[in-house]
């Protein structure tokens, strides 16, 4: 045996033989399906010999001609007019070269490493790139508007790439607005960016199902719009009668879906607008998913204070427990250190003013350790207790770096180890205890100075006393 070689097992040799047979069979089928387009596409003499007949009568042909592909991918209208003259077929299937390698099952427990290539058509290429004139030419040449060799139609392609003119042109020529892709998605489910709004409008005008569900997740277009924080899409779908409380496979309504998405600081406003619209349309703030999480649980987990305020104002329950035994307060305290810029203190304050359960006093040092980078959160949380047992563990919970940045505040906490809380604070705690979960309703109506009302509602002062 030569150096650098290795022995194939009988199983490996058999696998190679099967792979070779499969390749030969595949090659034969491709040859049978091909109509030898290169000759009549590139030479006028051959085109003249093409019989004039309806292109719809011809089966889709495989096209490997790079001249044709280059004209399609670059949107060269003049070249396409020459390549697709009157009487020619535009029903072509194109297999782009390249792709990623992946393992494919060949039967009998054997696998083969093959290039993953997605079949496409001239319509897909031109529609996805916004080549409207080229798309129009292909449609005039009788291209099958709903052909989907790669599992999606050209309409899916135009919507995914936010090409409203191409979307409208396809619909005018009879494209199915409710075509389901290989992944179980209708075109409306693919409108996932703000730039796809015009595509969504065209789809609805041409009969797209406003409550059509995706096959696996059972999402409606409204679920998709809510999940991506698309306020204009949400408004459009509600205007067309979208079901506001329909649940998907996970038990999420569009409102739950909007609240459950991770949100960066720049996303907070648009997700709030979506939730505001859904609530205005009558969305139920109490609906739980399969894990018994309410929209409030999710809004606290992703620290959107405006959404939390809106949900609480509309009757959301602050002490509902999910299957893990956690209330909304647990969710916000877990993420405080990651969401400082989201103003988590606003959420903690709102929950406490609406009667939320408090942290077990013995766990306060642990909470202090995880939330110490947000002094306001700590201040609000500790002001909900009439008595605190401050020990050395509290000092150890605050890092030197944080202590240096907020020295006065944390020294006011540690000083409570030697002195009780002030009489003013004890009076506040007594009144809040008496009102229980009605603090947010009763205090604003009291005939008291504004600064006292704010004090009762746990306004931030930057220290404890």
| Residue 338: per-residue pLDDT | 94
Full set of structural domains in the chain with CATH: 30-209 (1.25.40.20), 241-357 (1.25.40.20), 359-465 (no CATH)
Per-residue pLDDT reduced to its tens digit, 223-260: 999 999 999 999 999 999 999 999 999 999 999 999 99
Confidence of residue 46 (pLDDT cuts 50, 70, 90): very low
Q: Which residue, among 370, 367, 388, has the nearest Cα to 465 in the 3D structure?
A: 388
Dihedral sign (CA 413, 415, 417, 420):
negative
pLDDT of res. 276: 97
Residue 65: other Cβ atoms inside 10 A: 17
Q: What value does the mean pLDDT take over residues 149-165?
A: 95
Q: Per-residue pLDDT for 381 more than 90?
A: yes
Rounded CA-CA distance 106/18 in Å is 8
Spatial neighbors of 104 by CB under 8 A, at least 6 apart, are 111, 112, 113, 114
Using an 8 Å Cβ cutoff, are 301 and 335 in contact? yes
Entry pTM: 0.81
Q: Report the relative pairing of strands 92-94 and 61-63 from DSSP bridges.
A: parallel
Q: Are 126 and 72 in contact (CB under 8 A)?
A: yes
Q: Say what the pLDDT of residue 70 is.
A: 84
- The total number of residues shown for the chain amounts to 465
Q: Would the pLDDT of 24 be above 70?
A: no
Which of these ranges, 41-50, 258-267, 331-340, has the smallest mean pLDDT? 41-50
For residue 77, give the nearest of 154, 35, 120, 140 by alpha carbon. Answer: 140
């Amino acid at each position: 045996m030569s150096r650098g070689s290795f022995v194939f097992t009988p199983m490996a040799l058999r696998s190679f033989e099967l792979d070779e047979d499969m390749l030969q069979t595949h090659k034969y089928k491709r040859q049978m399906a091909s109509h030898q387009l290169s000759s009549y596409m590139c030479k006028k003499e051959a085109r003249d010999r093409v019989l004039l007949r309806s292109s719809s009568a011809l089966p889709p042909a495989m096209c490997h001609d790079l001249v044709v592909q280059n004209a399609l991918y670059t949107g060269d209208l003049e070249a396409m007019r020459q390549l697709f003259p009157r009487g020619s077929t535009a029903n072509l299937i194109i297999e782009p070269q390249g792709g990623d390698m992946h393992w494919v099952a060949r039967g009998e427990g054997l696998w083969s490493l093959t290039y993953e290539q997605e079949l496409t058509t001239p319509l897909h290429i031109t529609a996805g790139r916004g080549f409207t004139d080229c798309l129009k030419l292909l449609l005039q040449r009788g291209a099958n508007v709903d052909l989907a060799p790669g599992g999606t139609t050209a309409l899916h392609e135009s919507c995914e790439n936010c090409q409203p003119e191409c979307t409208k042109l396809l619909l005018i020529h009879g494209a199915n607005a409710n075509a389901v892709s290989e992944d179980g998605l209708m075109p409306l489910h693919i409108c996932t960016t703000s730039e796809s709004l015009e595509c969504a409008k065209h789809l609805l005008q041409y009969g797209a199902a406003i409550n059509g569900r995706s096959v696996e997740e059972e999402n409606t277009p409204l679920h998709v719009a809510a999940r991506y924080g698309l306020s204009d899409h949400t408004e459009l779908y509600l205007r067309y009668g979208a079901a506001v409380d329909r649940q998907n496979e996970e038990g999420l309504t569009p409102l739950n879906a909007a609240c459950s998405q991770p949100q960066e600081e720049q996303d907070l406003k648009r997700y709030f607008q979506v939730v505001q619209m859904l609530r205005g349309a009558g969305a139920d703030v109490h609906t739980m998913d399969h894990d018994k999480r309410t929209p409030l649980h999710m809004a606290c987990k992703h620290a959107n204070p405006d959404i939390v305020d809106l949900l609480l104002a509309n009757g959301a329950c602050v002490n509902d427990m999910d299957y893990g035994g956690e209330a909304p307060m647990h969710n916000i305290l877990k993420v405080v250190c990651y969401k400082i810029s989201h103003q988590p203190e606003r959420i903690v304050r709102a929950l406490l003013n609406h009667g939320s359960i408090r942290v077990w006093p013995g766990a306060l040092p642990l909470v202090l350790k995880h939330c110490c980078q947000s002094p306001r959160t700590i201040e609000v949380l500790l002001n909900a207790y009439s008595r605190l047992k401050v020990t050395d563990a509290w000092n150890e919970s605050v890092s030197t770096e944080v202590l240096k940045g907020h020295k006065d505040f944390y020294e006011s906490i540690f000083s409570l180890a030697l002195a009780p809380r002030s009489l003013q604070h004890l009076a506040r705690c007594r009144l809040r205890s008496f009102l229980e979960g009605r603090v947010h309703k009763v205090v604003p109506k009291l005939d008291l100075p504004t600064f006292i009302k704010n004090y009762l509602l746990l306004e931030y002062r930057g220290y404890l006393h």
